Amino acid sequence: MEILVCVKRVPDTAENEFELNGAGNDLDRDDLVYSVNEWDNYAVEEAIQMVDKMGGSVTVVTVGDDESEEILRREMAMGANNGVLLSDDAFEGSDGKGIATILKAEIEKGSYDLILTGAQADEGAGQVGGMVAAMLDYPYASLVNKIDVMDDKTIKVGREIEGGNQEMNEISLPCVLSIQTGINEPRYVGIRGIRKVSSVEIPVKSASDLGLDAASVGSAGAKTRRVDYFVPDMGEGAEMLEGSTEEIIAKLIEKLKAKGGL
Amino acid sequence: MSSIIGPASYQLFGIFPTAILSFVLPVIGIGLFAYIMTRRIAPLVRAAPDNRFDHIGLRIKSLVVVWLGQIRQPRYMLAGVLHIVIFAGFLILSVRSISLVIIGLSDGFVLPGLGGWLGHVYNFIKDYAATFVLIACIVAAVRRGIYKPKRYAVPEKYGKDHTAEAVFVLGIISTLMISESLFEASELAYALTVDGQSHFLAPLSLVWIFKAMLTSASPGFLQGLHIFTYFVHDLAFFFFLCFLPLGKHFHVITSLFNVFFMRVQKGNIKPVQHGIKDEELDSLESFGVKRLEDFTWKHMLDFYSCADCGRCSDQCPANAVGRPLSPRFITIKARDLMFKNYPLSGEIYKSKILVEDIFTEDEIWSCTTCGACEEECPLGIEYIDKMVDLRRGMVDEGMVPQSLQKPLKALEKRGNPYGKMEKKRAEWADEAEFKAKHSIKDLGEETADTLYFVDSITSYDDNIQEIARRTSIILEKSGVDFGILGKDEKDSGNEVLRFGEEMLYQDLKQQNTEAILASGARNIVTADPHAYNALKNDYKGLPEVKHISQVVAQKIASGELELKTCQNPDKVYVYHDPCYLGRHNGVYEAPRQAMDAINGLTRVELEKSRDRSFCCGGGGLMLFFEPEEETRMGVLRVNMAAEAGANVIVTACPFCLVNIQDAIKVAGKEGQMEALDFTELIEQHLK
């Protein structure tokens, strides 16, 4: 099975403290450390486990700059067979649709049975997977937490629904899936693993390699544009109800009625 | 005058010379033994290298103190005394055993040198030796078979009970003692009955008793008994010799070697592979122990040498709280695997990956590296290096628990497990009240004599930052010129190394070493025993490292630091020895001296103190690990303190403080017990 996993380099919420920059229109990116988006990492682990079981290969792809190469190497250290970097100045400022357009161009160059994306990204909007599927006219399932391969044309995918229940759906290949965290337990990749793949070749493809018109991607082709970044005003905080249990219950009912909750 | 016919000259049924048996039995016995030993040595030949021929002087000292002196035995008094008796008996009787083998071929043989008075003295001593060995065996058998002390129990998941093997061997040893004494007694009784010869015997020894019982026996009976007991002894002796390498009594042969080769340096971790320098690590195909053959030959010898006594597991805090780890069974399972894969006859089996075969991943991650097991083992068996090697293997294969992956990633990116920014590492010094009165030198910009190495938890944890402030105040008061590395300091990596992430540890070590040497500091002080241990024992080329308790004790002794009288004379204080200050580095007295310098402070001792201290739960990465356990180590420790009559636990380690503070809440003892850091106690009492 040939699997392509789309990964994104993001500033990890666990290792960063986010503040607005001086101009107040973006995050202060001076001291940020980056890593592969957590959901994408789960997707790569799932792909590797599937290929370990039934053969094939895992390719990881990202749209970014030179620095994005490090996350491709990390996923290859984890076990992905190939990495591709899609990089071009024209790609800067792409919105979700732009990224999807670029990825679609790369996907069409190969013949992949399965395309995985993370369900969402830190600093993302959870839209690229669905857009890529629509552009390719492939079936799409989101928030997948289980994949069972039936045969080389059909797979079953699961997602969690209300009450902690599980829903399973059949979907035909090739298709696009967005992967939810918790689908597996990703293996650890340490400095040593990364050093082992430090000299592996990672091809870089530009807009012209992909046959893309610069006007359809980047800020030139963006249909959405970020206008503001701000920290919301702090509210007064929580109101603490005092008194005995009966008194608190009475007050609570009053407030819920007054605000239209009951 | 006719004397009894010995086995060398006796003829069974008048025609068969028993001397033939005296020859054949030893030949078969020694031959079989040699074959078995060759098979047993086979896996060691394939094992990883180990550097155990250094520090010969210290090794000889271990041999004298631990092996010959049996110094660790009395830590469990009854079992210890029994063992010392049996061990001493074996050493003494080894001479007699050799003589006996030859007596079967040459009547009345006496070893050279034991002809005259020395021989008489020896006989006297050996008769009591045999007697005491027999008594010890009987007591031991009753203890094992009837009273069944808890630490010998075999949990169901580890297989069948081992009592039968233990009692069987005690039976063989008893047989040896009895048959040897009867062999001698029958000869002496015969001499008395037939010739009227009387020999002086050690009064009330086994031989003396048997001879007294045999005075009315017929010469024919005595003759028969003499030959019979000789061959019972001969057979039992060679059977026992060949039985030794088949089970836990292999230690009778391997103990001398195991103790000679045991660790002579404490607190450090073995390199990934002996003979491979840090710079060459990238060239290795595989890190750590994944299969049996990846262990070093000394570790394999450890597996062979286990006497199954259970003392390690009895002291193990992970075992006490119900984690899936029992050090005794790490060794026994590995030993049994060696026996299985390298059988006495037949093909050698290929080893599987250990954590998918005899061990579980959780079992290996459960260890806090406290060292209680190694401290206890009378045979010098090591555990920490094995756990680290197994973890190195798992990390190499990506098998790291999810709960540890986040802090490891944070350590890689930010140099601390919390993921906090490097530039905020020294923010503890900016606390308003503190900053108003004290300013801390940044050794990146200024110079100072001493480096105060703060390490991660003290730098970033809101509650623990107080330790940094108080340590600074104490150093200032003591007249120490010091500074910190601030944002150039990275986590010391003590746990990173011990959790098997070797390359990340090398990275942290390199960055810290560069920063420390660039600072020009001539000595280092820290309040974190984990940092103390790493900088002192694992890092190379650094100036001298001291723990704050050592500095305080020294300054009190020299008069540079004076303490007030106890501010809380009604409280009862108890000092808990942190594993990385106490057991691993031998610093027991300095904190106690400092506490005792406070007039009017009531201090008690925990039963499990000093090198028997009970781990609080662990530090560094262990704080992030989510173990399966029935209770917490900290809770057990808090209960021990309550039992000792204390209401304040003083500890000199930030991780101990965190664990014990949490445990007080979990144990529901808030208001009855409090945890105090050493620096807090001292700073409260500074004049």
Q: Are A41 and A47 in contact (CB under 8 A)?
A: no
Cβ–Cβ pairs < 8 A, chains A and B: 57
pLDDT at residue B1 above 60?
no
State whether residue B187 sits within 8 Å of chain A by CB: no
Chain B residues 402-441 with a CB less than 8 Å from chain A: 402, 404-406, 408-410, 412-414, 419-421, 423
Check B507 against A191: CB less than 8 A apart: yes
pLDDT at position A225, please? 85
Q: Residue B502: closest CA among chain A residues belongs to which residue?
A: A192
Q: Is residue A233 part of a domain?
A: no
Distance CA A222, CA A94 (A): 6
In a domain, B287, yes or no: no
- Output the CA–CA distances (angstroms, integers) from residue B486 to B413, B440, B443, B449, B495, in the order listed: 17, 10, 8, 16, 21
Give residues 243 to 282 of B whose Cβ lies within 8 Å of A. Answer: 282
- Determine, for residues B395 and A187 on separate chains, whether the beta-carbon distance falls below 8 Å: no
Percent of residues, chain B, with pLDDT higher than 90? 94
Same domain, B226 and B96: yes
Give the range among A59-63, A234-238, B101-105, B567-571 with minimum mean pLDDT.
A234-238
Name the pLDDT band for B114 (thresholds 50, 70, 90).
Answer: confident
Contacts of B414 in chain A (CB under 8 A): 15, 33
User: Domain limits at A23?
Assistant: 2-221
| CA torsion, ordered A230, A231, A236, A242, to nearest 10 deg | 140
- Residues A191, B504: C-beta atoms closer than 8 Å: yes
Residues A160 and A144: their CA atoms lie apart, in Å, by 8
Asked whether the beta carbons of residue A188 and residue B399 sit closer than 8 angstroms, the reply is yes
**Touching check for B504 and chain A: CB below 8 Å?**
yes
Do the Cβ atoms of B419 and A15 come within 8 Å? Answer: yes
Is residue A247 included in any domain, yes or no? no
Residue where the block lists tokens 């928030």: A143
Q: What's the pLDDT score for residue A105?
A: 96
Hey, what long-range contacts does B661-664 have (CB within 8 A, 24 or more apart)? B661/B463, B662/B632, B662/B634, B663/B616, B663/B617, B663/B632, B663/B633, B663/B634, B663/B635, B663/B637, B663/B638, B664/B638
B277, containing H or E segment: none
Chain B CA closest to residue A189: B398
Q: Do residues B628 and B589 lie in contact, with contact meaning Cβ atoms separated by under 8 Å?
A: no
Closest partner residue to A187 (CB to CB) among B398, B412, B421 is B398
Residue range A219-224: average pLDDT? 90
CA pair distance A203, A59, nearest whole angstrom = 12
Annotate A39-66 with DSSP letters as a single string: HHHHHHHHHHHHHHHH--EEEEEEE--G
- What is the distance between the alpha carbons of residues A174 and B492, in angstroms, rounded to a whole number? 49
* Helix, strand and coil in chain A, % to nearest 5: 35, 25, 40
**What does the block give as tokens for B234?**
């001969």
Q: Is B398 on the interface with A (CB under 8 A)?
A: yes
CB B316 within 8 A of CB B325: yes
Closest-CA residue of B relative to A30 is: B421
Q: Which residues of A touch B423 (CB under 8 A)?
A: 31
Q: What type of residue is A115?
A: I
Confidence of residue A228 (pLDDT cuts 50, 70, 90): confident
Q: How many separate domains does chain A show? A: 1
Domain-embedded: residue A235: no
User: A22 vs A170, which has greater pLDDT?
Assistant: A170
Do B398 and A191 count as a contact with CB atoms less than 8 A apart?
no
Contact: A14, B410; criterion CB under 8 Å:
yes
Minimum distance, in Å, between the CA of residue A34 and any CA atom of chain B = 8
Flag if B398 and A33 touch (Cβ within 8 Å).
Answer: no
DSSP state letters, B180-212: HHHHHHHHHHHIIIII-------TTSHHHHHHH
**A45 is written with which tokens?**
């682990």
Contact between chains at A35 and B400 (C-beta distance less than 8 A): no
- B402 contacts on A by Cβ (under 8 Å): 185-186
Residues B540 and B514 in one domain: yes
Q: Which CATH number does the domain housing residue B478 bear?
A: 3.40.50.1860
Can you tell me the ipTM of this complex?
0.88
Q: What is the pLDDT of residues B515-539, one digit of tens each?
A: 999 999 999 999 999 999 999 999 9
Q: What is the C-alpha to C-alpha distance for residues B559 and B579, in angstroms, rounded to an integer?
A: 29
Backbone φ and ψ for A83, nearest 5 degrees, come out as -135, 145
Q: Are B234 and B87 in a shared domain? A: yes
B640: DSSP letter: H
Mind listing the pLDDT tens digit for each residue in B147-195?
A: 999 999 999 999 999 999 999 999 999 999 999 999 999 999 999 988 8
B123-131 mean pLDDT:
95
Residue B196: pLDDT band with limits 50, 70, 90: confident
- pLDDT in the model for residue B563: 96
Please tell me whether residues B524 and B576 are part of one structural domain.
Answer: no
Q: Is the pLDDT of residue B26 over 80?
A: yes
| SS3 label, residue A115 | strand
Domain that holds residue B116: 11-252
Spatial neighbors of B224 by CB under 8 A, at least 6 apart, are: none
A188 to B398: CB separation less than 8 angstroms, yes or no: yes
- Claim to verify: residue B505 and residue B584 sit in the same structural domain: no
Beta-strand pair A165-172/A57-63: unpaired
CB contact (8 A) between residue A31 and residue B421: yes
**Angle subtended at Cα B58 by Cα B55 and Cα B59, rounded to the nearest 5 degrees:** 85
For testing contact with chain B, the best of A31, A191, A198 (most B CBs within 10 A): A191
Choose the closest CB to A15 out of B396, B410, B501: B410
Q: Does B399 touch chain A (CB under 8 A)?
A: yes
Is residue B481 within 8 A of residue B449, CB to CB? The reply is yes
Residue to substitute from A17, A122, A185, A192, interface B, most B β-carbons within 10 A: A192
Cα–chain center distance at A194: 22
Determine phi and psi for B523, rounding to 5 degrees: -155, 165
On whether residue B332 sits in a domain, the answer given is no
Lowest mean per-residue pLDDT among A257-261, B428-432, B592-596, B630-634: A257-261
pLDDT single digits (tens) B281-332 = 999 999 999 999 999 999 999 999 999 999 999 999 999 999 999 999 999 9
- Cβ atoms B550, B480 nearer than 8 A: no
Nearest chain B Cα distance for residue A191, angstroms:
6
pLDDT-based confidence at B633, cuts 50/70/90? very high
Query: Does residue B58 sit within a domain?
Result: yes
pLDDT of residue A234: 85
Residues of B in contact with A12 (CB under 8 A): 409, 413, 419
Which pLDDT score, from 0 to 100, does residue A156 have? 97
Chain B residues within an 8 Å CB radius of A16? 419, 421
pLDDT at A27: 82
| No. of helices (H) and no. of strands (E), chain B | 27, 11
What pLDDT was estimated at residue B505? 98
pLDDT of B433 strictly over 60? yes
Q: How confident is the model at residue B219 (pLDDT cuts 50, 70, 90)?
A: very high
B303: closest CA among B273, B275, B327?
A: B327
List the structure tokens of A176. 């696009």
DSSP conformation letters of A184-252: S-PPP--HHHHHHTTT----EE-HHHHT--GGGSHHHH-S-------PPPP---PPPP-S-HHHHHHHH
> Comparing A9-13, A164-168, B296-300, B560-564, which segment has the lowest mean pLDDT?
A9-13
Q: In terms of DSSP H, where are the helices of B520-625?
A: 529-533, 548-558, 589-596
Angle between helix axes B548-558 and B589-596 (nearest 10 degrees) is: 50
Contacts of B411 in chain A (CB under 8 A): none
Mean pLDDT within B342-365: 94
Least Cα separation, residue B650 to chain A (angstroms)? 33
Q: What is the pLDDT of residues A98-157, one digit of tens each?
A: 999 999 999 999 999 999 999 999 878 899 999 999 999 999 999 999 999 999 899 999
Q: For B221-259, give one letter per residue: b (16+ CB within 10 A) or e.
A: ebbebbbebbbbbbebbbbbbbbbbebbbbbbbbbebbb
User: With contacts defined as CB-CB under 8 Å, which chain A residues touch B282?
Assistant: 192, 195
Q: Is position A229 within any domain?
A: no
Give the residue from B211, B227, B252 where a domain finishes: B252
Q: Which residues contact B90 (CB under 8 A, 6 or more apart)?
A: B133, B252
Give which of B509, B299, B279 is closest to B388, Cα–Cα: B299
CATH code for the domain of B677 = 3.40.50.10700
Angle at alpha carbon of residue B416, lines to B411 and B422, rounded to 5°: 110
State how far the alpha carbon of B583 is from the alpha carbons of B75, B99, B387, B529, B615, in Å: 15, 45, 18, 11, 10
The answer to whether the CB atoms of A15 and B405 lie below 8 A apart is no
> For the ranges A222-231, B422-431, B450-459, B489-498, which has the lowest average pLDDT?
A222-231
pLDDT value at A25 more than 80 = no
SS3 of chain B: helix, strand, coil, percent, to 5: 60, 5, 35
Tell me if B422 is assigned to some domain. Answer: yes
Closest Cα partner for B163 from B74, B83, B247, B242? B247
Question: What's the DSSP call for residue B561?
Answer: S
Q: Which residue in A15, A27, A181, A196 has the most chain B C-beta atoms within 10 A of its own C-beta, making it the best mutation to test that interface?
A: A15
User: Is residue B495 within 8 Å of residue B534, measured between CB atoms?
Assistant: no
pTM of full prediction above 0.90: yes
Question: Which distant-in-sequence residues (6+ apart) come within 8 Å of B549 by Cβ?
Answer: B581, B587, B590, B591, B594, B652, B678
Residue B471 confidence (pLDDT) above 70: yes
Instruction: Give the number of C-alpha atoms closer than 13 A to the C-alpha of residue A147, restricted to the C-beta side.
Output: 33
**Which chain A residue lies closest to B394 (C-alpha atoms)?**
A188
What CATH number does residue A32 fall under?
3.40.50.620
Q: To the nearest whole angstrom, how far is the Cα of A33 from the nearest Cα of chain B?
A: 7
pLDDT of residue B545: 98
Residues in chain B within 8 Å Cβ distance of A193: 398
- As a whole number of Å, the CA-based R_g of chain A is 22
Q: Is residue B589 part of a domain?
A: yes
Residue B661 buriedness (CB in 10 A; 0-12 / 13-18 / 19+)? buried
Is residue B550 in some structural domain? Answer: yes
H or E segment to which residue A73 belongs: helix A69-78
- pLDDT, tens digit, for every residue of A63-95? 999 999 999 999 999 999 999 999 999 999 999
Residue pointed to by tokens 């994944």? B290
Closest residue to B503, CB basis, from A14, A185, A191 = A191
Mean pLDDT of B430-452: 95
The structure tokens listed for B183 are 């062999």
Interchain pair B504, A190: CB under 8 A: yes
Is B294 inside a domain boundary?
no
CA distance B458 to B413: 19
Residue A101 CA from chain centroid, whole number:
16
Claim to verify: residue B544 and residue B601 sit in the same structural domain: no
Find the DSSP H helices in B377-528: 384-396, 402-414, 432-437, 456-460, 465-477, 494-498, 502-519
* Residue A36: its H or E element: strand A34-36
**A190 closest CB neighbour out of B414, B419, B501:** B501
Interval B237-263 mean pLDDT? 97
Non-local (6+) Cβ contacts of A256 within 8 A are A262
Nearest-neighbour CA in chain B from A52: distance (Å): 14
Q: pLDDT for B651-668, tens place per residue?
A: 999 999 999 999 999 999
Domain count, chain B: 3
Assess whether B100 and B205 both reside in one domain.
yes
The pLDDT of residue A231 is: 82
Choose the final residue of a domain: B237, B252, B267: B252
The H or E element that residue A172 is part of is: strand A165-172
Residue B99 sits in the same domain as residue B132: yes
Nearest residue on chain B to A196, alpha-carbon basis: B282
Interchain CB distance below 8 Å, B413 and A35 = yes
pLDDT value of residue A262: 76
Residues B100 and B179 in one domain: yes
Check residue A31 and give its pLDDT: 83
Q: Please measure the distance between the N-terminal and C-terminal CA atoms of chain B and give it in whole angstroms.
A: 93
What is the band of A28 on the pLDDT scale with cuts at 50, 70, 90? confident
Residue B283 domain-assigned (yes or no): no
Q: How far is B370 from chain A (nearest CA, A)?
A: 25
